[in-house]
Structure 1
Amino acid sequence: MSSFAKPGSEEQELKWAWIWFKQFCAFHRRAVEREREFSADEVIAFLRSKRDANVPAWKRMKVIEGLIVFRESVQHRNPADLLPLRETMRGIVSIERAKSEGYDTIDDVVGKIDPKEPDAIQEFRRALRRGGMALRTERTYVGKLKNFMADRGLTCLADFERIGAADVEAHLTDLAVDGNVAPSTQNVSFHSLLKFFTLVLKREMGKIEAIRATKKPMTPTVLGPKEIAGVFEGLSGVHLTIAKL
């Protein structure tokens, strides 16, 4: 079975492999010789120099990957001693990404969940984090699921056995009719529940034909020249000066 790849991806990999190898050689003050062997310890020293120069983890990962490609495709040698470095760097990349997205530790990315939350919410959080969902998106989706659970009187994952498309449709219709929400809010609720059905319940949500929200966004009122002049006529002193600024 063939796989998809960007056009010229192998050429790009080799190009960057040479770039990183040349930088690696410059760091160790040695001539750029394609057959020159290099060790994992030498790669670690190079990576530490990048880290100390505030090069982000994802880019340091590119360095490792480039040197692995160089070892395999240019030198035609076994890169086995470099593979553990790549695995370690993957963990470091995950930690940096987690912190940049608001998680305190890497445990928060997948496993550290508030045990006081309903099991349905806990499972939803885990599923979203495994998929690499951004923290703010997770919070939004979880909030919509909590609203749905409150609306339908659900307290745990087992309660969802009786929940289907009709319940989702009723909830979304209520948002449009009684909640008077904007279309974007209704859409987010729909996609949140769709994610939950797909990732946690592992079943199709079914066809949804809810009444669509039609609330228009608030548009600021702009006064015309005559109306502005009328406002000015009713002001004086400091208030008039401020209004004209």
Structure 2
Amino acid sequence: MSLTRFQSRILGTSLSKAEQAWFPKWVDGYRQHCRGTLDQNLPVTEELVIGFLRSLRDRRVEAWRRLQAARAIELYQELIPIETKLDFAKIKRTLHELDRKENHQSAPQSQREQQIVPGEWNPGKLDDSEPETIKRMRGRMRVLGYRRSTEIAYVGWLRRFIRHVDDERLERYGEAEIADFLTELALTGRVVAGTQNQAISSLTLFYEKVLGRELGFIHSLRASESARHL
């Protein structure tokens, strides 16, 4: 089931407005974890669901939000035609207990929604005055759950690359221009290896997660760097 169909079907449920907004985002995050396409039915297995929830935990997403993600996937499986359905009862009990331990049980969910900083699992409001390329980068990073500090750093590198090619339409450019940009950073930008790696991560995320284009030479570069440190 496509995310669009899922989103349209949940409108007739008893979900709150906040949940109607968030459930498709959680399912989209799960889709990316499963490496599924936008128009295919996603497999819902214990291994995949727990793996996704653990990836959220590793990003320090709070237990109550991981519980919301689990409920979103549970609803998704109820709305698609699959024969074997995963029992989410144990998963939800565990997350409820973790939520209680994190001392969030007493705060209303609507209040918790307001406490989340835009860029940390909250889409917030994008600045319409920013270039479309920057807004797309921010939007994707927020859906994927990147921290606000990481968003600021990555957007900064994306702006530098835009200045390098002197064009906001980055879909016109690819590996050759990125390699030239990284070479310029190494030779004249006075950046250390760790900083250059952040630039690489920023451009990799934009091209692969926003534009849907794989940067093969980046992966080869990182593989060779890892081999040199073995």
TM-score, scaled to structure 2 = 0.50
Larger radius of gyration: 1
TM-score by length of 1: 0.47
